[in-house]
Structure 1
Amino acid sequence: MSRSITLRNGRTFLAKLDDEENIIKSKADSYNNLVGLDDNRLSEDVRTDINAVIGEVNLLLRGKLKQFRGLCQANVTKSTSGEPIPLDSDLEGFWDITYPLIDKVKEKFAKLDMRKAKQWAPVEEYDPNDINNRPRALDDRLKQLQPQQNKSSKIPVTKSSNDDLKKLIQERRKAAANSANQNHDVEIFVAPK
């Protein structure tokens, strides 16, 4: 199966760049106007989140996108100041690196749009690729240590049974600390299997 690769030139990328810049600039401007209003509905956390995304847009516009624009213009005019003229394939590679940054900013604006639609309530985020944000799988030993519910009556474990468990743990810790101070024997508690 033959796959044709379409190389785009500097003019094509300049047009794409203009479109993407207009999208993120207009979003940044609208949120900047929203923050500029003295609106009591916006908490300090919301204002901070909005300003962080606007700042990311500004950095992107002044950094990578400005650099990419210069490369595209050098490709179109075929004149540089002693630098090699960027090839169409060079522009393809730079775009492949740059576009995910634009996409990331657009995703952040989409999250802000969701929060705005929910009167700025926090939006639960779950990233399956983030190791620290995955639901934890409890192994059987940890499940045994957790208070169990009576499955037949569906009555949750009472507060007193939780308090009893806490007292038992504290007593064992004190006893272990006292015995460690008196003699240097180590006592290991193992949950029954």
Structure 2
Amino acid sequence: MSKSNAVMNGRTFLAKLDDEEKIIKLRADGYNKLLQTDDSRLTEDVRTDINAVIGEVNLLLKGKLKQFRGLCERNVNKSPGGEPIPLDTDLEGFWDITFPLIDKVKEKFSKLDVRKTKQWAIIEEYDPNDVNNRPRIIDDRLKQLQPQQNKSKIPVTKPANDHLKKLIQEKRKAAANTANHDIEIFVAQK
């Protein structure tokens, strides 16, 4: 946004702010009027969604945008009033933080517009960048890449282990038959 070669100052940011505020205020007013109608398609859920976006606009107008307007006016008027005068670069930084909030609200209005054209049906949202939200499509090529599970319950043993197991079983049988309970330790040969 503010990465252009032109110097952005309080006046240019005030003009941008006026334009953006006008857009979101008009959108909010339009949906507010829609809420005043007796449209039976506006279920309680739809009304809640609309009110949430209008509320977000109001918070933005009374919060960040009002704060940004004050900073721009102090930059233009150069009246200290006890507080430091914001530099043009300060305004650029604040705009870089604030504009995405405006953009997000406009995006929410666009989603409401889509729902309105579809008779307020709930629209499934799919974010291709969200790894957890991607549909899982497993075709034959992917199945080949997946490890095959051993379906048999019989464990596969190595020949050295078989020899050791036999030796241990023989010694246990011999120990059970005799009264001598000496302890012997067996180690597999390498």
TM-score (ref. length: structure 2): 0.69
Mapped to 1, the partners of 2:112 and 2:25 lie a distance apart of: 15
User: 1:167-186 to 2 correspondence within 5 Å?
Assistant: none
Task: Report % sequence identity.
Answer: 72
| 1:31-67, Cα deviation, whole Å (9 max, x unpaired) | 0111122221111111111111111111111111001
Question: In the TM superposition, what are the counterparts of 1:19-168 in structure 2 within 5 Å?
Answer: 19-136=19-136, 140=143
Q: Whole-Å Cα distance in 2 between the matches of residues 114 and 4 of structure 1?
A: 33
What secondary structure is seen at the aligned counterpart in 1 of 2:26?
A: helix
Q: CA deviation at 1:129?
A: 2.5
Mapped contact 1:14–1:69 kept (Cα < 8 A): yes
Q: Residue 190 of structure 1: CA displacement?
A: 6.0
1:31, 1:50 within 8 Å by CA — same for their partners in 2? yes
1:105 CA drift (Å): 0.5
Q: Deviations over 1:11-44 (max 9, x none)?
A: 1110110110000001001101111222211111
Write the distance in 2 (CA, Å) between the matches of 1:79 and 1:32. Answer: 38
Separation (CA, whole Å) in 2 of partners of 1:86 and 1:104: 26
| Alpha-carbon distance between aligned partners in 2 of 1:191 and 1:46, rounded to the nearest angstrom | 51
1:107 partner amino acid? E
What is the CA-CA distance between 1:4 and the residue it aligns to?
6.6
SS of the equivalent of 1:91 reads: helix
TM-score, with structure 1 as normaliser? 0.68
Instruction: Answer whether contact 1:7 1:92 (CA < 8 A) is retained.
Output: no
Question: Residues 28 and 57 of structure 1 are in contact (CA less than 8 Å); yes or no, is this contact kept in structure 2?
Answer: yes
2:185 equivalent in structure 1? none
CA RMSD after TM alignment: 2.4
CA distance in 2: counterparts of 1:35 and 1:64, whole angstroms: 26
Measure the CA separation in 1 of the matches of 2:105 and 2:26: 12
How many residues are aligned here? 145
Q: Which runs of 5+ in 2 are unaligned?
A: 153-190
Gaps of 5+ in 1: 145-188
**Residue 25 of structure 2 corresponds to residue 6 of structure 1:** no
How far did 1:5 drift?
Answer: 2.3
